[in-house]
Amino acid sequence: MSFETSIGSIEIRNPLILASGVLGTTYSTLQRAYEAGLGAVITKSIGPRPRSGNPNPSVFALQEIRSLINSIGLANPGYQSFRHDIEYLVKSETPTIVSIFGENQTEFSEVLDGLKDLNILGFELNFSCPNTEKGGSQIGTDSETVFNIVKTLKSKTDLPLWVKLTPNVSDIIEIANAAVRGGCDALVAINTIKAMVIDIQTKQPILGFKRGGLSGSAIKPVGVRYIYDLYESLGGRIPLIGVGGIYKGEDVVEYLLAGATAVEIGSAIGVAYPENMIRFITMKIKKYLKEHNYSSVGEITGGAHK
Amino acid sequence: MTKQTLPNTKPIMCKIIKKEEECEDTYTFLLEVPVKVQRAKPGQFIMLWVPGVDEFPIGIAGFENNFLEIGVAKMGEGTEALLKKEIGDYLGIRGFYGKPFKPPKKVKVNHLLIGGGFGMTPLKMLTTSLLHQEEKQEIHVFEGARTKSRLMYLEWFQHLHDKEKLAFHACTDDGSYGNQGYPTVDLENFLKESEDPSIFYVAGPERMMKVIFDIGKKYDKVIDMQMSLADRYMRCGFGVCSYCAVDPTGWRICVDGPIFNTKQLEQITDFGVYKRLDTGEKERI
């Protein structure tokens, strides 16, 4: 039974990838997440310079819907400082995708130029963070900007570029097409959904930034639908990576059936014992493969499109 | 009311039912927790939300009958706003988070609690818990502060000392109470004279803890050192964000700690050397 997965030119040992923003601030947690059994890891989104992000509270759980809301807002050490962490990851042979962001094309280029010589698997372009005033999902909602940035970055590197899409748009297919025309190597869907929680006692939005993004179980059906739509519209032209609300092996299978080649897991990995979580997910996928007479995980992709 | 086993939620709003000046710039707050939760354990922490201002980790000084005691010192914008809160106001709490102190059972040891400043809050709770243990063992508390008016829980510890429940070794930088100097002096004097094995439980500024760690390493009779690294920047409190992680182990202070033992501390090269800022960058301590 094969778990090996190809996403374009990238080959990883299984289709489970650590989503950006979880356990991704330092090489040691990323290394640990990989050793826990994932196929690859994606770093926290890295920008041109150190950034404190938004005030706390910036992340908490909504237990009743097994979800998280966050407004961390791209807090990161900047690419110059984070280079050292990536060097550690490369040295320890941790398959790493570096998530990058910028407020505009110039900033994206600066970050990419500053890191592209490293022996990483590729870059994920974060066009979809909902927790900033500039950049983030503002970029990801304009197809022309998406096209221009992807095209420019593609001309600067041979490394694969993945584009992470925001669900907070009226037509995700239009944005996806722009990214594909620009030359991206895979599409990742979805980032968090715009959300808010208000404390009724003090009548205050709880997050320090007031507004945030929702991840976890509550958004899984949204993510599955977007992957389904993207697969239907783009066919086999480009690999799709599903993300949003994966807690179980069955959730992974669902995303693969919708059309994903691989998945990213975030909220569920940020638990006390990620090792157990990953083992449990893997076990359930194996069981599914066996029960449905598949010999490899790649055969599931797109199975729901008949 | 449902009893939560993993109380990982949005902030639970708690009413302030008592506020008392503990020592200079430091207040004790008693909060009424409106939902049934599992007992807090000494060394665990909560994320405390001051509505509209900030949220930060804070140590637990006591938890009895759903009343939560915290000790708050003026440290920054968040704590300053908190100190302005009065009885009847609401604060949000998340937690209880983290791994607690683990005093060994059925081993004859001296329990040595060493701390300073806000570090005394978890040590107060640990003291309460040790005093409840059936087997009476020696408890020594070493507290240091700049001056007498800044010794936290001075009366509380002094009272227990007078009742011969424990030995309280206080010291101040200016000699206004106890011996003049750092608690490390009293600690080393004690270690030189004692014959039984000892365990350290330490909470306070990390530089001080590193010094104490190095002292403990010199004595074979110190069989374990448990130290709280809760004085670090945290966002989530439950392991997802990793802004509190230490290198090279990748342990998150909030779920793998905040209490680490000797074996773990030896592996954390960041201990006493680097802390992480809210950007994720490292800064020398």
The domain containing residue B58 runs over which residues? 12-97
Give the whole-angstrom CA distance, residue A92 versus residue A150: 29
| Higher pLDDT pick, A9 / A306 | A9
Per-residue pLDDT tens digits for B85-99? 999 999 999 999 999
Domain of residue B33, CATH code: 2.40.30.10
Same domain? For B92 and B114 the reply is no
Per-residue pLDDT tens digits for A280-304? 999 999 999 999 999 999 999 999 9
Least-confidence region, from B3-17, B18-32, B119-133:
B3-17
pLDDT at A283: 95
Per-residue pLDDT tens digits for B26-67? 999 999 999 888 889 999 999 999 999 999 999 999 999 899
Domain of residue B152, CATH code: 3.40.50.80
Same domain? For B256 and B119 the reply is yes
**Is B91 domain-assigned?**
yes
**Is A306 domain-assigned?**
no
CB contact under 8 A, A57 and B238: no
Q: Could you list the beta-strand ranges (E) of A49-116.
A: 59-62, 67-70, 96-100
Same domain? For B91 and B153 the reply is no
**Is B122 domain-assigned?**
yes
- Exposure string over A128-162, b if 16+ CB within 10 A, otherwise e: bbbbbeebbbbbbbbbebbbbbbbbbbeeeebbbb
At A132, list the tokens.
Answer: 């900033």
A81 contacts in chain B (CB < 8 Å): 281-282
The answer, yes or no, to whether residue B219 has pLDDT greater than 80, is yes
Residue B138 contacts residue B108 (beta carbons within 8 Å): no
**Is B251 domain-assigned?**
yes
| Average pLDDT for B67-77 | 90
CA-based nearest residue to B207, from B279, B101, B281, B119: B119
CB contact under 8 A, B279 and A51: yes
β-pairing, A67-70 with A212-216?
antiparallel
| Average pLDDT for A78-102 | 97
| Average pLDDT for A230-259 | 95
**Is B39 domain-assigned?**
yes
The answer, yes or no, to whether residue B118 has pLDDT greater than 60, is yes
pLDDT at A137: 62
The answer, yes or no, to whether residue B3 has pLDDT greater than 60, is no
Give the whole-angstrom CA distance, residue B224 versus residue A279: 33
pLDDT at B2: 40
The answer, yes or no, to whether residue A131 has pLDDT greater than 70, is no
pLDDT at A128: 79
Nearest CA in chain B to A201: B13
Of B70, B97, B124, the one marking the end of a domain is B97
Nearest CA in chain B to A216: B240
3-state secondary structure of A3: coil
Same domain? For B77 and B126 the reply is no
| HSE toward the beta carbon, residue B269, CA cutoff 13 A | 6
What single DSSP character describes residue A44?
A: P
CA-based nearest residue to B58, from B75, B71, B76: B71
CB contact under 8 A, B55 and A51: no
Residue A43 contacts residue A82 (beta carbons within 8 Å): yes
Least-confidence region, from A167-176, B5-14, B102-111, B266-275:
B5-14
Same domain? For B56 and B186 the reply is no
Same domain? For B92 and B41 the reply is yes
Amino acid at site B262: T
Per-residue pLDDT tens digits for B190-218? 999 998 999 999 999 999 999 999 999 99
Q: Percent of chain A at pLDDT above 90?
A: 88
Residues 6 or more apart whose Cβ sits within 8 Å of residue B145? B116, B117, B151, B152, B170, B172, B173
Catalytic residue, candidates A115, A129, A238, A285 = A129
**Number of structural domains found in chain B:** 2
The domain containing residue A132 runs over which residues? 5-300
Same domain? For B84 and B212 the reply is no
The kind and range of the H/E element at A83 are helix A79-91
| Average pLDDT for A242-252 | 96
| Higher pLDDT pick, A133 / A14 | A14
**Is B79 domain-assigned?**
yes
The answer, yes or no, to whether residue B252 has pLDDT greater than 80, is yes
| Average pLDDT for A131-144 | 75
pLDDT band of B106, cuts 50, 70, 90:
confident
A129: annotated active-site residue:
yes
Taking the model in full, what pTM does it have? 0.93
- What are the DSSP calls for chain B, one per residue? -PPBSS--SSPEEEEEEEEEEEETTEEEEEEE-SS-BPPP-TT-EEEEEETTTEEEEEEEEEEETTEEEEEEE--SHHHHHHHT--TT-EEEEEEEESB---PPSS---EEEEEEEGGGHHHHHHHHHHHHHSSS---EEEEEEESSGGG-TTHHHHHHHHHTTSSEEEEEETTSSSSEES-HHHHHHHHHHH--S-EEEEEES-HHHHHHHHHHHHT-TTEEEEEEE--SS--SSSSSSS-TTEETTTTEEHHHH-BEE-HHHHHH-TTTTTEEE-TTS-EEE-
Give the whole-angstrom CA distance, residue A94 versus residue A80: 20
Same domain? For B196 and B87 the reply is no
Distance from CA of A35 to the nearest CA of B (A): 11
3-state secondary structure of A226: helix
- Exposure string over A277-288, b if 16+ CB within 10 A, otherwise e: bbeebbebbeeb
Length of chain A in terms of residues written: 306
Of B63, B97, B131, the one marking the end of a domain is B97
User: Please, what is the average pLDDT of chain B?
Assistant: 92
Distance from CA of B280 to the nearest CA of A (A): 5
Same domain? For B75 and B144 the reply is no
**Is A12 domain-assigned?**
yes
Distance from CA of A128 to the nearest CA of B (A): 18
Least-confidence region, from A81-95, A122-136, A168-182, B24-38:
A122-136
Q: State ipTM.
A: 0.91
CA distances from B102 to A136, B53, B109, B126, B257 (A): 44, 34, 13, 10, 12
CB contact under 8 A, A56 and B241: no
- Give strand pairing partners of B50: B54
**Is A277 domain-assigned?**
yes
- Please tell me which of A70-79, A133-142, B7-16, B68-77 the model is most confident about, judged by mean pLDDT: A70-79
CA-based nearest residue to A18, from A5, A30, A27, A7: A30
**Is A305 domain-assigned?**
no
The answer, yes or no, to whether residue B224 has pLDDT greater than 50, is yes
Q: Could you list the beta-strand ranges (E) of A112-234.
A: 122-126, 161-164, 186-189, 193-195, 198-199, 204-205, 212-216
**Is B2 domain-assigned?**
no
Q: Is A22 on the interface with B (CB under 8 A)?
A: yes
pLDDT band of B5, cuts 50, 70, 90:
very low
3-state secondary structure of A263: strand
3-state secondary structure of A292: coil
| Average pLDDT for B132-154 | 90
Same domain? For B179 and B54 the reply is no
**Is A147 domain-assigned?**
yes
Domain of residue A135, CATH code: 3.20.20.70
**Is B103 domain-assigned?**
no
Q: Which of A44, A50, A206 sits opposite B11 (nearest CB)?
A: A206
Same domain? For B143 and B261 the reply is yes
Of B97, B131, B146, the one marking the end of a domain is B97
- CB neighbours (10 Å) of residue B235? 27
Amino acid at site B258: P
| Average pLDDT for A124-138 | 74
Same domain? For B200 and B143 the reply is yes
**Is B5 domain-assigned?**
no
pLDDT band of A134, cuts 50, 70, 90:
low
Least-confidence region, from A6-10, A133-137, B149-153, B192-196:
A133-137
Interface test with B, best of A29, A98, A200 (most B CBs within 10 A): A29
B52 contacts in chain A (CB < 8 Å): 202, 204
| Average pLDDT for B162-174 | 93
pLDDT at B7: 59
Interface test with A, best of B35, B37, B89, B236 (most A CBs within 10 A): B236
**Number of structural domains found in chain A:** 1
Give the whole-angstrom CA distance, residue A101 versus residue A126: 5
**Is A30 domain-assigned?**
yes
B278 contacts in chain A (CB < 8 Å): 52-53, 75
Phi, psi of B100 (to 5 degrees): -85, 175
At A121, list the tokens.
Answer: 């698997």
- CB neighbours (10 Å) of residue A237? 10
